[in-house]
Amino acid sequence: MTSFSTPTRSLPRPFSRRHALRSAAAAAAVVVAGLVPFTGALAQATDYPNKPVRIIVGFPAGTGPDIVARLLAQRLSEGWGNQGVIVDNKPGAGGLIAAGEAARAAPDGYTLMLGETGQLSIAPSSYNKLPYDPAKDFVAVSQVVTADFVLLVNPQKVPSRNVKDFVTWTQQQKGLFLATFGAGTPGHFGAFMFGDAVKLKPEPVHYKNTSDALGGLFSGDVQGVFATVGLGAPQVKAGKLAALGTTGATRSPMLPDVPTIKEQGYANLEFSSWFGIVAPARTPPEIVARLHADIVKAVQSPEGKAKMEEAGFRVTGTSPQEFARTIAADTVTWGKAVAATGFKAD
C-alpha cells in the first residue's frame, strides 16, 4: 500500500479576496457560457426530445453518480413518453475523461453530463491542465441532489463513538490515517478540512475504489474514511462500521441518530458533494429551460424524491442560475482546501 501526505496549514490563507472573487466570477460563467440562441432553437425545443438522450457519467456502475443518473434517466424517460434515456458510463481520471467528451459534444440537448463536485469545482484547482474548461465548456441545467459525508470507523479496531473521543484516541496513535476513494476527490480534501478543524495532520491513503478503501478500514490499515451517507449507511445499519458524525448542515435522514460534526463542537466543519446536469456550451436556452423543468418535475415527484432519498441523497432540483452559483461558490471553497494541501494531480 502506498500513502500520500502533503503539508497542511490553515485553510483560509491561500486565497486572497481578489483571487477568490476572480475564481467565483470565472466559475459563474458556466451559467451563460451556452445560452446563445440560434435560428430554429425554439422550434427544436417544442418537439424536444424526439430521439434518445444520452447522459454521460464519469464513474463506474454502482457509484453515487451512476445511481443518481439511472434514477433520473428512468423518471425522465417516463415523463417523455418512454423516450429512451441512455446512461453512458465513461470512468477514468476522476471523471475528467467523461467531462472532456461531454464538452466536445454537439450542443443540441441530446448529450448531457451528470457532473459532480470534483469535475466542476475541484479539478480547476487540482489540475494545471484540464481537457475541458468548466466555466466555458458547459452550461448549468440543474443541481439534482446533494450528498453529505459520514466519518466511518471500524468498531473492532477503533474504540471511539464520537468525534471528540476519536480525536483524543488518534492523538495517542502514531498518526491519523484516513482512507480516500482517490486523490483529488471530495473525500481527500474533506480529510484535510477535518484535520484542520481538529488540529491534527491527516495522512490520506488513496485507494482505487470504494471496496478497496472499505477493505483497508476493515483490516485496520486506516482508522477512518469520509464516505457518502448513501454508501456508509447500510454498513452502519448492519453493524459493520460505526458512524462518528456527518458533514452536512443538518442530520441525515438516513442516519438520524448520528449527530453532525458541527453539533459536536466543530462549527467550521461542513462540506458536501453534489451531482447535477450540465450541457455543452451553446445549448439553446429553450432546451436548457425545458430540461430544467423536466428534471425538477422528475426528482420532486413523490416517487422520484423517495427513490433519491432511499439512496442517501438530498433532492435539490435547483435552477440553472442557482446551480451555477453553487459551482462558483464551491470552486472557491474547495480551491482553498486544494491550495492548503499543496496538492496537484498532474
Q: What is the pLDDT of residues 109-150, one digit of tens each?
A: 999 999 999 999 999 999 999 999 999 999 999 999 999 999
Side chain identity at residue 29, one-letter code: A
Q: Which position has the higher pLDDT, 221 or 174?
A: 221
Phi, psi at residue 194, to the nearest 5°?
-60, -50
pLDDT(346) > 90: no
Please tell me the predicted confidence (pLDDT) of residue 11.
39
In the chain, the DSSP E strands lie at: 53-57, 85-89, 111-116, 138-153, 176-180, 202-206, 224-228, 242-246, 272-280, 314-315
Distance, in Å, from the CA atom of 131 to the CA atom of 137, rounded to the nearest integer, reads: 10
- Which tens digits make up the pLDDT trace of 323-339? 999 999 999 989 988 99
**Full-model pTM:** 0.80
247 within 8 A of 266, measured Cβ to Cβ: no
* CA 208 distance to own-chain centroid: 17
Q: Is the pLDDT of residue 307 over 90?
A: yes
Give pLDDT tens digits for 172-220: 998 899 999 888 888 899 999 999 999 999 999 999 888 899 999 999 9
Residue-level pLDDT at 45: 64
Contact 175, 221 (CB under 8 A): no
